[in-house]
Structure formats: C-alpha cells, structure tokens
A and B are shown apart, each in its own frame.
Chain A
Amino acid sequence: MPDKPLRILYLDDSHAALAEVAAALSAEGHDVRTAATVGEAAPWLEISDIVIIDFHMPGINGAEALLELQGRLSTNANPTFYLYTTDTSIAVNFRQHGFHGAFTNKGHVTTLAAQLATAARLLKMRRFVSRAVPAK
C-alpha cells in the first residue's frame, strides 16, 4: 500500500490491458481511471497525478495523444506523463516525445507496480522541492 494513493489515468486502446492494469494498480491501493481514447481520458486529466499512455494505438501514437491531452490541460493541472511501452528504442526517446518518463516491460504488471512506486517517490520529491524552493 503506497503512502498516499496516486490518482492514475491510463490510456490504452486495449481493453484487456486497461482491465489488467486497473486491477493490478487498484490492488496496490491506487485510484485508477482508464480510457481507451483521448476523448475519454480528457475529463480525468485535471485530477490525475500520473498519466500513463500506451505508445502504439490505432490512428494515433502516444506522442500525438500526449500533445492533444496537453492542449486540453488547464494551467493549474500538472500531471506527470509516462510513456508505456515494450519497445526500448521508443522508451529511450521519451523526452523527445514530450514525456516525463517511461515505463517499460509493458504487460508485466508486477514490473509496472514497481516502476510506479519509483515514479511516486520521484513525484513526491519534485513536489516537495517545488513547494520549498519558492518559500526560500
């Protein structure tokens, strides 16, 4: 069980993958929302801590989906976007695609849970620093 449950939004065209990830991460204590399209994902953007986006989707790739979602973001919302893929050649270029990070080994939910735990610590650290630095 994480310190504080993360609000996770997972965008993937595969309903099986959505169900599997949602079940696994919910079991870890996270609040998980799933979406099969950008349109479905958009309403949840504002209240999500982490947005996980599959790269290979029909008609749209993860980078394009990210751009579209970022276009719908309000200035107050600041979720962290993670690419989710098995393809390490795409993962290596996550920054070029506009993502904050990459989750690899897609389909292995245990690995995803471990990666998410690290991402949660990273998020906590960044939030702490961003809160503290203006105060200084």
Chain B
Amino acid sequence: MQCILSRTIVSGGAQVSEVRAMGRSRLERLARALTASSQRDQGEELRRQREMTVIFTLSGVAIFAAFSWMVFRQGNVAAGRTHLSVVCAYLTGLAIMRAGFPALAMYLNIAATAVGICGAMWFGGGLGAAACVFVATLPVVGFLSLGKRAGMYGAGLGVLVIAAIIALEARGYVPRQDAPRTLYVKRVVESLVIVLEMYVLSLAFHNATARAYGLLSSKRDEVASLLDSMRQGVLAFGQDGLVVGEHSRKAQAIFGRSKLDGASVVELLYAGVASYDLERELFSTWLESVFAMGRAGWDELYQMAPSSRVRMLGEQEQHLRLEARPVFEGDRLMRVMMLVTDETEEVKLRRQVDEGKAERERNLLRTRRLAASGAHTFVAFLQSARQRIDEFAEALSARQAPSRRGELEYFFRHAHTIRGEARAFDLDAIERPMERIEHLLRTRMQEAFADRTEPSLDASRDELATLLIESRKAIDDARDQLVAVSPIGAAILDQVTVSRRDLDALTAALSTLKGSQPEFHDARLDALADVTARLAARPFGELAGLFSDAVQRWAEQRGKVVRFEIDGRNHPTPPALARILPQVLSHLLRNAIAHGIEEPGVRRERSKAQAGLLTVSIRQDGEDPEEVELTIEDDGAGLDDQALARRAGELGLPLAAASELMFMNGVSTSSEVDSLSGNGIGMGAVRAALQEAGYLVLVRSEPGRGTTFIARRARQQTAIRKVS
C-alpha cells in the first residue's frame, strides 16, 4: 500500500515538474496570447462601429463637398449651402466619434444625409446624385451594422427610394432639374451601378472580416484547449484584481464556479477569510505592488508572492499551489496570469504515507524493544489473548449466542484484560476492537438490567464477530512482526529467559549425578541431559544477528555492497561453539569482505549482481546436539592461490596447499594492512579457536565463484562437501 501511495505521489510530482518545465517564456507567450485575444474581443464591437462611421463619413464629406462646389458654380446658392451644412454635420459626427460615441456619430451622419437629400430635392441641383449617395449608403450601413441580409434589404430599399423619386418627379411633386431627361436617366443608371458596386464591395469586406474573425476564433479555441489540457487552473487578472479573458475549465473546477469573468482573485483565494488575515493582506499588497512597479519591480516582487494557499471548503482543506506570470506592454504590467494547482490529494496521500510510516516505525520500535528485553511476556500475552478471542468467537458462533449475564461478564472480563495488556504493549490495533467489544457487552448488560431480562447478544453478533476477526488479525500481525525483527526468527515464540547461573547449576548437578553412579544408566537421565544441553544452547540467529549491521559497515569501508543472510536462525548453537562464534564470525566475515567479494564495478564486469552475497548458516549434522555444521560462504572472487604461494615463497615458507597457507600466521596477500584485513594472523587464530572447541575448519574455493569455510565436529572425518 505504501509503495502504491509513494508511486502515486511520485507520479503526481512528475506531472507537476513537467508543467513547471514548460518554462517561463512559453508561459509568458501563452499569457500574452490569452490577454491579447481577450482585448480583441472587447474592442471588436467598438472597432466595427468606428470603421463603419469613418467610411460613411469620409465618403459623404467627399461627395457632398463636390456637389456643393458644383451647385455653387451653377449659381444655386441654397442647394450649395445645404450641401455645406451636411458636410459640417459629417465633420461634427467625426468629432463625436473621436469623443467615444461612434454610434451617436453614425446616427447623426444618417440624419445629415437625409437632410442633404431633402435639401437637394427642395432647392434643386444634384438631387439624383444625393439620392445615389443615400441609396449607396443604405446597404453599406445595413451590412456593417446588422450583417449581410440587412445589406441586401438596404440595397432593395435604395432601389425603392430611387423609384419613388422618379415617380415624384414624374408627377411634378419634386422640382424638375434643368438637365435633359436623357442625362437624368443616365444619372439614375449610374446610381444603380454605384449601388451594385457598393454592394459588391461590402460583400468583399464582409468576407475578409469573417475570415479574420474566424482565424481569431480558431486561435482563441486553441488557447482555450491548451488551457483546458493543463493540470493547473489558469486565469488572468488585471490591476483591479478582477479575472479577465480566457480561463481554463480546471480553474472553474478548483474555485467551484462556472463563471470566473469579473470575479475578484482575492475573493477567489481568500473567500471567507477575516479582514485581518495576514495572508490575505500580503496577497492584496502584492497585487497592488506588482501593478504599481511594473517591469522594474517584478523580479523582486515575484519572490515575495504567496506560493501556496489553503482554502477551507467547509471542514475540508483545499491545498493550492500558486504561480504567477506577468504580461507586460513595454514596462507596464498589463495582466498577471496565475497558475493554480490543486495539491489537496497529494497532500492527503503524503500525510497518509507519513502517518503510516510513523505508525509502522512506532510498531517496529516497540517490537524491537520487546524482542531485545526478553519477549516471552509478550509472547505469553499474544497466546493468551488469542485463546480468549478464539473462545469468545466459538461461543458467538454457536446456534445460540451467550445470553446469560454470567457468560457476558466472563467475556467482558476477557476483553477488558486483553485491552489492558494490549495498552501495556502499546498495541492500538488490538486495544481498539477490545474497547468496542467491552462497550457492546456493557451496553447489552445494562439494557438487560434495566428491562429485568437476560441479556442477548443477537443484535450485536455480526459486529462482535467482525471485531474478533480484526483482533485476531492484529494479534497475528504483532506475532509476525516479532518474528521478523527477532534475530532468532520463529524461535522467539518458544523462548523463555533462563538464568545462566541456574543453568550451570543444573548442568553441574546432572554431571555429578551421572558421575557418582556411572553404573546407573537411565534413559530418563539421558533425556534430561539432552534437554539441559538444549536449554544451554542459544539460537544461532541470536549470535549471527549481531553482525548484521557490522557487515554493512565493513562493506561500506571497502566501497562494496553486501547482502548478508543467516540460515538456521532458530537452530540451537552448541555451547562450546557459541562461546567462540563471535570471534570466528568476526574474522571470517571481515575476510570475506576484504578478499572475497569484489567491488561493484568488478562484479558488473563479471556479470554478477552488484551486491555480493555473504551467507552464514548452521545445520544439524548428526544425532548429537554438538554435531552441527557451520558454514560461511561468499560468492566473491575465490582464493588467489598464486598470490598465496608467491607470498609464502617470499617468506620462505613451504608451498603447501593454498587453503592451508591462508591459515599460516603472517601470510597475507593483501598489500594494505588495515582494521579489516591484511596482517595474516586472524585466520590462524580462527582455526586454533575452532580446533580448541572441537571443530575442524575446511575450505573450498573456486576462482571467480566464491569461497566456503566449513566448521564441523573434529571427530567426523567426512569428506568436504562442495558448497560453492
């Protein structure tokens, strides 16, 4: 479980790193695109109105100024004045537009055009041309303000207006122009051509605009898609602290709002926080400062920006990581893009892992303490608790659950005892279910007492059964953990602490008994002697386990990696061997690390695992308890026979077998003498000690495959078993 959690966190962390790795410049480009598109959106309508007004006004000014000049030349002063008034109205419209009211300017221009046409109609001179201007502008205005269909209606209306003017003139309601009819017809045709041309022009303009807006829309979609694919919530805000432009869906999800436009970023991050909250003030001050300072202060202020925020959503915490990116125009800061990452799940997972780790470490420490200080009390507790739980479970699974008050009190006492003992051993996992069982039993008994009936466990039977299963599992886990940390393995479950003095007294008494009556041979006395010998024999793991840490330390000194294994942890070690075992193992293990196991690089070249394997084991090798075989084996380079022989030659010693040379004092192949190896005395001392205890040392080595030292009882003359 822990591995899965850790992997999840690592994976999450990798994703975060990936996003971080996007780089500042890329994020800044993204921010620029984001805010640029939003600015385009905002200015779109205004710009269209301005374009429309400028086109309309400039064409109107040009045409009516030309007409004015023409009619003045013809001597029609009234018409000339009218046209000049219209020009003035157009120019006024331009001024109004510059003042920020383009729509008003547009309406003024249309009104001016109408006045111009009416004036031309009543005062004569250029009526046809003025009408042309009006009908030409209708489709343009219609198209630009309302779209293609309105443009077509405008064109149609223009044709109707021309037809109406012709009809009015024909009936004599409008003063006829002096020009001949052919010229008048020609002007009307020209007007129609102009209308058509204007319509074609407006269509082209419409298409071009549509393409531009299509491209813009596509880019905006790309930006939105990019934002949505990011793990972070992305939003941008301006100097007023309000969210503007595009923001990602993730941002909506993080802040739980479907719409973020116009929302205050301070409120989003610090909703419900008191006004005196310093974090909130820090962020507000930062916001003011970065916009006030612009580019000049960004780098410094960026370092001071809040990098995280914990929001409270009811009772739940939401952990957010914050990153800010600037969008400058020149030296001015226009926007700040904020990347918001919701790290709540990661924080939760991390906490769970940390809590789990702490719990496991507490358990391990407690169990080590128990194992070190004599675990028999703990083992006795585990056994008795298990028995009590089994008994209760059996009673509970019977057809009729315990129902007499006495029975309930009996099991209540069991639960109470187990809980108390579990607390003494700091075993929460057992204490908790026992506490619940106590509560259930007490409640049932109180209810029965109040009702003056016999208590019944039927209503709680399922829950009690579950709690008993939970407790049983907790006991098994505690036992497994004890075995795992115990240097003597499962033998820890079968150990009691015996006084060495009592044991020696027992051995001496037995020896005296057998010695005083040699003729008296009793099998029961032999059995007693065997039991006493077993009592005196310590488990092998208890002695070999002492070297677990030391082996790693020695290997580290030599730049080597070693895996140390112990086989036969719970096998009794004969007392004679046990007495010298620390000395023997110390020498042989150091020797294996110094001379046998290669450095990781060398092992790699030889296609071996980087970590060398060093194994010590013990096994029974006869019927007598003393008849054991001790093996120390490594998978290193094996003995260097040539080096041993060379060294012995240098010392003038006989060139005996290599395995014998190594036990001779002063024969060492190592060029350096240090605390770990090299003086050539240790191995001789090892053999002497083993021989004194009644054991022979045998060596087996294969170049490149390793060395095995075997110690066996001296009386055995069996062949050396090839191990390596």
Contact = CB atoms under 8 A, between A and B. Distances in A.
9 contacts: A101-B278, A102-B276, A118-B278, A119-B278, A125-B285, A125-B289, A129-B292, A133-B293, A136-B293
A81 interface: no
Contacts of B301: 125, 128-129
Given A102-B276, A124-B304, A125-B301, A132 B281 contact: no
B279 interface: yes
B296 A122 contact: no
B275 interface: yes
Interface in B281-295: 281-282, 285-286, 289, 292-293
B304 A92 contact: no
Interface in A85-107: 88, 91-92, 94, 101-104
A108 interface: no
B274 A92 contact: yes
A15 interface: no
A132 B276 contact: no
Interface string A115-128: 10011011011101
Interface of B: 274-276, 278-279, 281-282, 285-286, 289, 292-293, 296-297, 300-301, 304
Given A122-B281, A122-B285, A136 B296 contact: yes
* Chain A CB within 10 Å, residue with most, of B278, B282, B289: B278
Contact of A122 (B278, B293, B300): B278
Contacts of B276: 88, 91-92, 94, 101-102, 104
Contacts of A103: 278
Contacts of A102: 276
> Could you tell me the dominant secondary structure of chain B's interface residues?
helix
Contact of B296 (A91, A101, A104, A132): A132
B293 A125 contact: no
A92 B282 contact: no
Enumerate the 8 nearest inter-chain pairs by beta-carbon distance, A residue then B residue, closest first.
A102-B276, A118-B278, A91-B276, A129-B289, A125-B304, A122-B282, A94-B276, A132-B297
Contacts of B286: 125
B310 to A, nearest CB: 12
Contacts of A92: 274-276
Contacts of B297: 128-129, 132
Contact of A121 (B275, B282, B292, B296): B282
A91 B282 CA distance: 17
Given A101-B281, A118-B279, A121-B282, A129 B293 contact: yes
B278 A126 contact: no
A53 B213 CA distance: 61
A69 B639 CA distance: 85
B295 to A, nearest CB: 11
Interface residues of A, number: 21
Nearest to A135: B296
Interface of A: 88, 91-92, 94, 101-104, 115, 118-119, 121-122, 124-126, 128-129, 132-133, 136
Nearest to A128: B300
A124 B289 CA distance: 12
A87 to B, nearest CB: 11
A104 B279 CA distance: 13
A12 B289 CA distance: 33
A102 to B, nearest CB: 4
B274 A91 contact: yes
Given A92-B274, A128-B300, A132-B293, 14 more contacts: A88-B276, A101-B276, A122-B281, A122-B282, A125-B301, A125-B304, A126-B285, A128-B289, A129-B293, A132-B296, A132-B297, A133-B292, A133-B293, A136-B296
A54 to B, nearest CB: 16
A115 B293 contact: no
Contacts of B300: 128
Contacts of B289: 125, 128-129
Nearest to A82: B278
Contacts of B282: 118, 121-122, 125
Contacts of B293: 129, 132-133, 136
Contacts of A91: 274, 276
A136 B304 CA distance: 20
Contacts of A133: 292-293
A91 B277 CA distance: 9
A51 B329 CA distance: 40
Contacts of B274: 88, 91-92
A126 B301 CA distance: 10
Nearest to A130: B289
A80 B669 CA distance: 75
Contacts of B281: 101, 122
Contact of A115 (B275, B278, B285, B292): B278
Contacts of A128: 289, 297, 300-301, 304
B430 to A, nearest CB: 34
Nearest to A119: B278
Nearest to B289: A129
A84 to B, nearest CB: 11
A125 B281 CA distance: 12
Nearest to A122: B282
A128 B285 CA distance: 12
Contacts of A118: 278-279, 282
A102 B297 CA distance: 27
A93 to B, nearest CB: 9
A88 B296 CA distance: 38
A67 to B, nearest CB: 19
B222 to A, nearest CB: 37
B674 to A, nearest CB: 41
A121 to B, nearest CB: 6
A115 B276 CA distance: 11
Contacts of A126: 285
A103 B296 CA distance: 32
A125 B287 CA distance: 11
B695 to A, nearest CB: 61
Nearest to A85: B276
A133 B282 CA distance: 18
Nearest to A117: B278
Contacts of A122: 278, 281-282, 285
Contacts of A101: 276, 278, 281
A112 to B, nearest CB: 11
B60 to A, nearest CB: 48
B443 to A, nearest CB: 39
A132 B331 CA distance: 14
A57 to B, nearest CB: 20
- Residue in A104, A119, A129 whose Cβ sees the most chain B Cβ within 10 Å: A129
